[in-house]
Structure 1
Amino acid sequence: MIKKTLCFSNPAYLSLKNSQLVIRLPEVECCDNLSDSFKQQSERTIPIEDIGIVLLDNKRITITSSVLEALIENNSALITCDSKNMPIGLLLPLCSNTTQNERFRTQIEASLPLKKQLWQQTIKQKISNQAKILSIYTNADVGCMYAWVDKVRSGDPDNLEARAAAYYWKNIFSDIPNFVRGRDGEPPNNLLNYGYAILRAIVARSLVASGLLPTLGLHHHNKYNAYCLADDIMEPYRPYVDGLVSDIMLSTNDYSELTKDIKMKLLTIPVLDTMMGGRKSPLMIATQQTTASLYKCFNGEQRRILYPDL
């Protein structure tokens, strides 16, 4: 079942009643010119079990602890935004798998050679997907990208990921002179940042559902990063966000600001089509298959992690 992604960009009261998220709008309730019946009709309810991601993007949102508890029990990801409307916080369940302790131990005890092999698979798929994006949206020669895919070794000691990234970002937005990918860079970095934050939440949610610790990464190991494993696993999925951003740029002349329409398009990331094993599925389902396969790699059931092929 595809879970809903909810984004609240206006003031709202969020409460719980009969396992339903109740949404009330204070701007409607406080308006004396509206009838009581209209105010009641403006109230909306959504089953908690249908919700996968909730994004809070307004300073005047009130949410009850009952809603937080229900969302956590449903393994929903709750994202909060800062004053610049950029995702800044992520709330996830502490326990959402019946064999979590066993899975934590399996993950912690994974050998270094295994983690290096899994990182090799991750980078090979990331570069391959980046090459596909370049082929779709640009006229750049991608022969070098596929050559790098074949040369990635266990643990990527030659840092071919960085070499491919330099070539990729040089060509993906060729209409923008001297484009540099960076968190604080010029647009469309704002779109990429927003999209990657949504993607990170999706992957982190799937990791928790698979009984894994998002903190303990395969390659990323920054001691200040609570989502190292999520940052690892999302790498092959990033090109899907890049493709969506490219589509947005083609459909509008001004993407300097994250407008409501642009946000709505970026919030379709969970339902983007992916291909895995010859079968089409939404991105949110694909990440669940990826994280489930990662656990099987940790416990020795299989040797390859499943990633979508763009």
Structure 2
Amino acid sequence: MIKRTLHFSNPAYLSLQQDQLVIDLPHLKILGEKESKKKVPIEDIGIILLDHQQITITHGCIAALLDNNAALITCNSGHLPTGMMLPIDGHDIQSERFRHQINASQPLKKQLWQQTTQAKILNQAAILSDRGIPCENMVHWAKSVKSGDPDNYEGRAAAYYWKNVFPKKIEFFRGREGDPPNNLLNYGYAILRAIVARGLVCSGLLPTLGIHHRNKYNAYCLADDIMEPYRPYVDQIVLGIIDRGENFLELGTSIKMQLLGIATVDVQFERGTSPLMVGLQSTTSSLARCYEGITRKINYPLMKNFDTRRPFNYNFSSEIQNFDTEDIEVQDKDIGEEKLPF
């Protein structure tokens, strides 16, 4: 079942009654609406976005949402996500999975980052391919990624991707405080990050301990790692908004609703298609199995099969992985990260 994403952009009072989220909307009373209250089963909710300064939510409601592995996101006065609340206990054998995660070897982490980087570059290449932009170099870079990506193919691919993916008239430059449509990307990535963090918790993993990101000021390093191959799905939504000629200079309600739809976007795995929120759970579960030593492959979706000789469900990722078990020297200092919000 696909969990629901609820977005509140008006004053509201949220409470709990018989395992139901009770939504009281006072502005509807003012407008003379008879039905100012709505109810949603707590178990149906995956993410709640609180996007107004006059929203009140009861403690009982928060506790019930967290008990059902929902994620709560709060926004500032500028309507940008600034905080997230996740369950502490999200899995039956959480302590055991924590232990496996903490004890993961450096070679394993490097191999997992190799797979993550390959999947991200291939999905970026798929976006370019669909827009008629040359991407053969991207596919080559994906195949060339070694364990730990010591040659920084991720950075090379990102530079080429952002230079070409948007229409030339926009003169786009990716940056945290950059001009639109950076605002749309930031918002979409924030929602995606929450979905990934929730999936990690549900799989009994610590979102803080990353396989590559390890900034001491970042509480969601692993979420930032695992969301990388999923970012192009947000990019795809943003590109659609621009292509349709919608006003992307401001984050209007219509655009927010489209970006919130990232949770239900179809993603393609080897064994079929599923909504992103469901597919993400498959990714995080496979990561947990990697930590446990059951497998060494993360289950990431691919947007396009670049080998036309193979069916789409062919295990293309296994063909491009070049596992290098040699333990490359790791510096103790924090990895320098892009100065982006998520």
TM-score (norm 2): 0.87
Query: What 5-or-longer segments of structure 1 have no aligned partner?
Result: none
Residue 199 of structure 1 corresponds to 192
Deviation at 1:26, TM superposition (A): 1.6
Listed as ranges, the matches of 1:1-310 within 5 Å are 1-29=1-29, 31=30, 34=32, 38-39=33-34, 41-137=35-131, 139-310=132-303
**Cα distance in 1, alignment partners of residues 150 and 79 from structure 2:** 37
Report the Cα distance in structure 2 between the residues aligned to 1:57 and 1:181, rounded to whole angstroms.
Answer: 25
Shift of 1:180: 0.8
CA distance in 2, matches of 1:178, 1:153: 33
Structure 1 residues 177 and 267 mapped into 2: Cα distance closer, same or farther (>3 Å)? closer
Q: Cα–Cα, structure 1 residues 174 and 27, in superposed 2: closer, same or farther, change >3 Å?
A: closer
Which of structures 1 and 2 has the larger relative contact order (alpha carbons within 8 angstroms, sep 6+)?
2
Q: CA deviation at 1:177?
A: 4.7
Q: Distance in 1 between matches of 2:246 and 2:118?
A: 34
Contact persistence 2:188–2:259 (CA under 8 A): yes
Give the aligned partner of residue 317 of structure 2.
Answer: none
Equivalent-residue separation in structure 1 for 2:68 and 2:209 (angstroms): 23
Output one character per residue of 1:141-163: Cα deviation in whole Å (capped at 9) or x when no partner.
Answer: 10100110111000000111000
CA displacement at 1:183 relative to structure 2: 1.4
Change (3 A) 1:28 1:178: closer
TM-fit CA distance, 1:299: 0.6
Give yes or no for contact 2:26–2:36 (8 Å, CA) kept in 1: no
Q: Secondary structure at the match of 2:168?
A: coil
Aligned-partner Cα distance in 2 for 1:177–1:24: 42
Looking at structure 1, the residues matched to 14 and 183 of structure 2 have their Cα atoms a distance apart, in angstroms, of 28
Mean Cα deviation higher: 94-103 or 172-181: 172-181
Per the TM alignment, residue 250 of structure 1 is displaced from its structure 2 partner at its CA by 1.4
Q: What does the per-residue CA deviation read over 1:220-272, in whole Å, with 9 as the maximum and x for residues that have no partner?
A: 00000000000000000000100111011112342100000000111100000
Q: Distance in 1 between matches of 2:198 and 2:37?
A: 28
One-letter amino acid matched to 2:85: L
Q: Cα deviation per residue 1:169-223 (whole Å; 9 max; x = unaligned)?
A: 0000133353111111011100000000000000000000000000000000000
Q: State how far apart, in whole Å, the 2-side matches of 1:189 and 1:293 are.
A: 31
TM-score where L is the length of structure 1: 0.96
Residues 4 and 177 (structure 1), Cα distance of their counterparts in 2 relative to 1, 3 Å cut: closer
Does the residue aligned with 2:287 lie in a helix, a strand or coil?
A: helix
Q: Match of 1:114, as an amino acid?
A: L
- Count of aligned positions: 303
Q: What is the one-letter code of the residue matched to 1:8?
A: F
> How far apart, CA to CA, are the structure 1 residues paired with 2:203 and 2:51?
28
Question: Which residues of structure 2 form unaligned runs of 5+?
Answer: 304-342
Indicate conservation of the 8 Å contact 2:12/2:55, yes or no: yes
Secondary structure of the corresponding residue to residue 21 of structure 2: strand
What is the CA–CA distance in structure 2 between the aligned matches of 1:250 and 1:261, rounded to whole Å? Answer: 15
* Bigger mean CA deviation after superposition, 277-286 or 248-257: 248-257
2:257, 2:239 → 1: CA distance? 15
Q: Is the 8 A contact 2:13 2:57 kept in 1?
A: yes
- How far apart are the structure 2 equivalents of 1:207 and 1:169? 28
Q: Distance in 1 between matches of 2:11 and 2:85?
A: 20
Determine helix, strand or coil for the equivalent of 2:169: coil
User: C-alpha separation between the residues in 2 aligned to 1:11 and 1:180?
Assistant: 35
- Contact residue 110 and residue 148 of structure 2 kept, 8 A: yes
